[in-house]
Amino acid sequence: MILENFHKSFNTDKVLRLLGAKPGKAVSPAAMRRVDLMAEEIQGMLKPQLSYRLLELLEVNQGGIMLSGGTCFKSRKLAKALAKVEKVCCFVATVGPAVDMEIQRLMRRQRFADAYVLDAMGSMGAENVVEQFYQRMARRQVERNGGVTLRFSPGYCDWPIQQQRPLFQLFDDMDLPVVSLNANCLMSPRKSVSGLFGLLPPGAQGAHPAYNPCHTCSRRDCIARRRN
């Protein structure tokens, strides 16, 4: 089943961060006007969709995990994060192709600044779809006195991007948004997000267990760094 009931909103601070703004430093009025203008224009381009599957966790070892059906994912950090979950939620989400097409049109017209802002907003829009879904699942689990792990996507931490293939193979064509993989395992439309997170059983405390691989990572400048 494909979910489409997502609201379209933007956190201006996060968009500015994606654009390279430094915390505590003022942004020029011209830059703010451009962000505000593109925030209005992108609303009609966003067509959010997300599909997910809940699978039993069959095995955890130092090198990765195995899900029901035999799908294996290789990542030591993923294995550590999911060690105590009862199920794993795998997902694929997108905001559709219109943002990509408009970015290409702006580039052809040499409106590079507008294209750059729209690119950041498209990325934020796709992340926002996933975050809304994630929070819904977290609330559902908390009502059961359970919780959820942090989200993980192929290509981040030590989870190879090539693992997009077995992740996509979990979905039938009818249950998957119109998202495809190229030979390098990059998604099209580009403004798409795939990944997974774990569902902790009743008795787990809080929405986020203690393990966060970012706490032991030396990449302090990573834009995807999670501090909680």
pLDDT category at 152 given cuts 50, 70, 90 is very high
What is the band of 209 on the pLDDT scale with cuts at 50, 70, 90? low
CA distance 223 to 185: 21
Residue 151 confidence (pLDDT) above 90? yes
Q: How many Å is the Cα radius of gyration of the chain?
A: 18
pLDDT > 70 fraction of the chain, expressed in percent and rounded = 89
Q: Which amino acid is at 147?
A: G
3-state class (DSSP) for residue 219: coil
The whole-angstrom separation of Cα 100 and Cα 125 is 12
pLDDT tens-digit map of 20-61: 777 777 778 888 888 888 888 999 999 999 999 999 999 999
Angle at 123 between CA 71 and CA 87, to 5 degrees: 30
Residue 161 amino acid letter: I
Tell me what the mean pLDDT of segment 73-86 comes to.
Answer: 92
Please state the domain extents for the chain.
2-7+48-96+125-216
Q: Are strands 87-94 and 147-148 parallel, antiparallel or unpaired?
A: unpaired
pLDDT band at residue 207 under the 50/70/90 scheme: very low
Q: Is the pLDDT of residue 224 over 80?
A: no
Specify the pLDDT at position 210. Answer: 56
**Mean of pLDDT values over 169-174:** 87
**Bond from prior residue into 154 cis (ω within 30 degrees of 0):** no
- In this predicted structure, what is the pLDDT of residue 8? 85
Classify domain 2-7+48-96+125-216 at the CATH class level. alpha beta
